[in-house]
Structure 1
Amino acid sequence: MKVSLRNVGLVVLGLLVLAAAAAWWTYNYEYVEREVILRPRGEASYNPLYALKLALQADGVQARSRQRLQLDDMPPGPRDTVLVLSDPRTLPVEDVERLLDWVRAGGHLLVRTPPLERGEATRAGELFDALRLRPLATGDCMRLAPPARAGGERGDDSKKATGAAFAFCSGTRFTMLGVEPLHAWGDLDNGYAYARLAHGAGTVDVVADFDFLTNASLEHPAFSALARQLLQPGWKRGTVHLVYAANMPSLWRLLLERAWMAWLPALLALVAWLWMRTQRFGPRLPSPEPARRALLEHVQASGEHLWRYGRASALYAAVREVFMARLRRRDPLAAALDGRAQVEAIARRTGASPADIEQALQTPRPNDGADFRQRIARLLQLRQQL
């Protein structure tokens, strides 16, 4: 098979173009690595102390985390450490008493101050009343210096990872009523942001807030060093129990903040449908009366219709026929008579005067309503007397 030189030239030219494009791409572009921070998944998405637990376990410290205190199911040992992240006012009185008894036996408890409610009138709670502490108004932030390096030098303040950090910015300061702390951070005028109190054979650490121990903040070396100092009394002597509160927002708040893309169009569609279905504006119209099927109303309406169109004789004839039907059942002999004899026979049976009976058996005058009603009423009366 012969191959055309023209086709071979086109193939070679195409290969050269592809090679040139590949060489240009390789020369101008290079592979680089880029870190992308993903959203936390699993326990890290709902446990704010998850990073602290992993850090403690990496240092050889036994650490456990749970949502509730659960003293009955998992009681702490005499050398353990318990960190309560949630508001201490939510602890029941029984749990507060058991925690304080455990601290007197040698335990180490870490708690935070409750958030402010009405300035300095914030309710302290059972635990703070027992420790003789009172919350104060929020104070200023405290600057944490970066930890010293091996050579005794401070880290570079120009770098965010090793620079100074600020803690207790949103926490509630507190004051102590006749209590001498082992260590404290603050003063009487502005309140204390941290204090370590001796309670029996154990200690209680009170901190303005635990924001520096959460997953996002623990990466800072200054916060890590502060966490290490807080956990020093029970370091590697027992288990560290990290008790956090799963503060899930309400369903309505989640729908309002996260699902507005669904409910807002649905609400607009509902409003548009109601607008289309609205016939007019103004006061509400009364409901129509339901259809009525009473037999007497139909009879009355039929009688009024016949009377209006001059058919009163038909109405009288119907009533007279009803009277004569009963007369045939009660007195066949009187019903078979005719004329004056029949009138006298009915008078003897009913006790009425012959004149009244004779008048009632005669057809009423046309267009005389009074005479018509009188004859009809007399016939009905005589029918009852038969």
Structure 2
Amino acid sequence: MSRHAGWLIGAVLAALVCAFGFYLSNKAVPYEEVVEHGPSPQAQANPYLAAELFLRQRGINVEHANSLEVLPTLEPRQHSLLLLGERTHMTPREVEQLMNWTRAGGRLLFVAEALWDDSTGSSGDLLLDRVRLRQSLSKDLKEPAPELIKDRYPELTKLYLEDEEAPAYVGFDTDFHLEDPHDLAQAWANSASSTHMMQLTLGLGSITVITDAELWKNDAIDQFDNAWLLWYLSADTDVTLLFNTDHDDLLTLLLRYFPQALVALLALIALWFWRSAVRHGPLQAPASQARRQLEEHVQAGAGFHLRHNGQQHLLHALQQDVLRRARHLHPGFEQLAVAEQWQVLARLTRQPTRAISQALSPRPKQRMSSAEFCRQVAHLQNLRNAL
């Protein structure tokens, strides 16, 4: 191919590429697409991360704690403590510490965790019982008044403030209801049929009890006036959010994050037990009665007597056998004194008197060792055989 033909082909290809690009530029329509990757790892680890960021944006200093051990370090005045986690294992001492901290000027907010039980006169929630409020199910309440049924937003909780024409609307869970049988609350917030927030004064501080804290979690805080309520309750204070006070134990964490590994471990343990229980080799068949000899019967009989009658019975039988043979060889033997009998036996068996006395003396009732028992039996048999 000549150089001129090569240049011509290249120019044609370049023209085609330019024409195709011009065509695409006229036909292509730019657009934006948002790819949702889900919550960030920080949001997944902290359900109240959005609440913390919101308060910080409002100029409020926010800290996060995992246990009540932080309480002695918190200055009560101008400080809010929000207990948003489980308090199942809270002790009476911790409850009293919280009460003293609140009396000194702290703002305490916590979630009612248990229902009131009339039979026991308590709910089991030490902190809720301490402030003398009660929680029940909304479905157990009486039917609401007719004017409440006409509420435009019956599922939302309304908080009315002075000098405000319209209430704030908050998304509490309406399945639960707070009761104040002793008229201690100074403020409260209701939905159409139940109460979900109460405030009490304690010393220089205040206590706020709510039925749930789900409205301040990452996926709900931007709904209704939920975020505003959090700011309203903690305004002009430093805030400590306390949740995850009850840490999961190792077994719970393993079940949550490594269930397959636990199943494999249990399978290995079961396999090990099964393997350990397998006999090595075939079962030994019982011996035929035709091959059993007199010696085996004697040993079996002796073993039976030893198990059922004990060592003392066998030794006494051997001693009596020795004395019976001595009476047969020496007339009047039974009429002699014990010392004289031992001298006669020593002369008949040619054994020292000390060995005779040791063999025929009564034995202590405590069980002898196997070696000592065997030596005593052998000594008595030697005396018997020597007669």
**TM-score bracket, shorter-length normalisation:** 0.5 to 0.7
Could you say if the C-alpha distance between residues 285 and 95 of structure 1 is closer, same or farther in structure 2, counting changes exceeding 3 Å? Answer: closer
Q: Match for residue 135 of structure 1?
A: 135
Instruction: Say whether 1:82 aligns with 2:77.
Output: no
- Counting aligned pairs with the same residue, the percent is 19
Could you say if the C-alpha distance between residues 118 and 252 of structure 1 is closer, same or farther in structure 2, counting changes exceeding 3 Å? Answer: farther
CA distance in 2, matches of 1:136, 1:255: 35
* Structure with larger Rg: 1
Q: Match for residue 306 of structure 2?
A: none
SS state of the match for residue 208, structure 2? strand
CA distance in 2, matches of 1:120, 1:3: 106
SS state of the match for residue 83, structure 1? strand
The one-letter code matched in structure 2 to 1:167 is: F
Q: Match for residue 36 of structure 1?
A: 36
SS state of the match for residue 185, structure 1? strand
Could you say if the C-alpha distance between residues 54 and 20 of structure 1 is closer, same or farther in structure 2, counting changes exceeding 3 Å? Answer: same
Instruction: Say whether 1:179 aligns with 2:201.
Output: no
CA distance in 2, matches of 1:256, 1:99: 34
Q: Match for residue 54 of structure 1?
A: 53
Residue segments in structure 1 that go unaligned for 5+ positions in a row: 155-162, 279-283, 298-386
Q: Match for residue 95 of structure 2?
A: 96
Could you say if the C-alpha distance between residues 138 and 212 of structure 1 is closer, same or farther in structure 2, counting changes exceeding 3 Å? Answer: same
CA deviations over 1:44-78 (Å, ceiling 9, x no partner): 33222222222212211111111112145523332
Q: Match for residue 283 of structure 2?
A: 288
Q: Match for residue 238 of structure 2?
A: 239
Q: Is the 8 A contact 2:123 2:129 kept in 1?
A: no
Could you say if the C-alpha distance between residues 196 and 145 of structure 1 is closer, same or farther in structure 2, counting changes exceeding 3 Å? Answer: closer
Q: Match for residue 281 of structure 1?
A: none
Could you say if the C-alpha distance between residues 41 and 9 of structure 1 is closer, same or farther in structure 2, counting changes exceeding 3 Å? Answer: same
SS state of the match for residue 167, structure 1? coil
CA distance in 1, matches of 2:255, 2:70: 37
Q: Which runs of 4+ in 1 moved over 4 A?
A: 115-122, 138-141, 144-147, 246-264
Shift of 1:262: 7.5
Shift of 1:9: 3.4
Give the 5 Å matches for 1:90-239: 90-116=89-115, 123-138=123-138, 142-143=155-156, 166-169=171-174, 172-186=176-190, 191-231=194-234, 235-236=235-236, 238-239=237-238
Q: Is the 8 A contact 1:87 1:113 kept in 2?
A: no
Q: Match for residue 10 of structure 1?
A: 9
SS state of the match for residue 225, structure 1? helix
Q: Is the 8 A contact 1:132 1:179 kept in 2?
A: no
CA distance in 1, matches of 2:119, 2:36: 44
Shift of 1:208: 0.6
Residue segments in structure 2 that go unaligned for 5+ positions in a row: 142-153, 293-387
Q: TM-score, normalised by structure 2?
A: 0.55
Shift of 1:108: 0.8
Aligned residues: 265
SS state of the match for residue 48, structure 1? coil
Give the 5 Å matches for 1:272-311: 287-289=282-284
Shift of 1:206: 0.5
CA distance in 2, matches of 1:119, 1:39: 43
Q: Is the 8 A contact 1:144 1:222 kept in 2?
A: no
Q: TM-score, normalised by structure 1?
A: 0.55
The one-letter code matched in structure 2 to 1:179 is: D
Could you say if the C-alpha distance between residues 246 and 41 of structure 1 is closer, same or farther in structure 2, counting changes exceeding 3 Å? Answer: farther
Shift of 1:37: 4.1
Give the 5 Å matches for 1:259-278: none
CA distance in 2, matches of 1:25, 1:125: 69
Q: Is the 8 A contact 1:113 1:173 kept in 2?
A: no
Could you say if the C-alpha distance between residues 33 and 176 of structure 1 is closer, same or farther in structure 2, counting changes exceeding 3 Å? Answer: same
Q: Is the 8 A contact 2:197 2:211 kept in 1?
A: yes
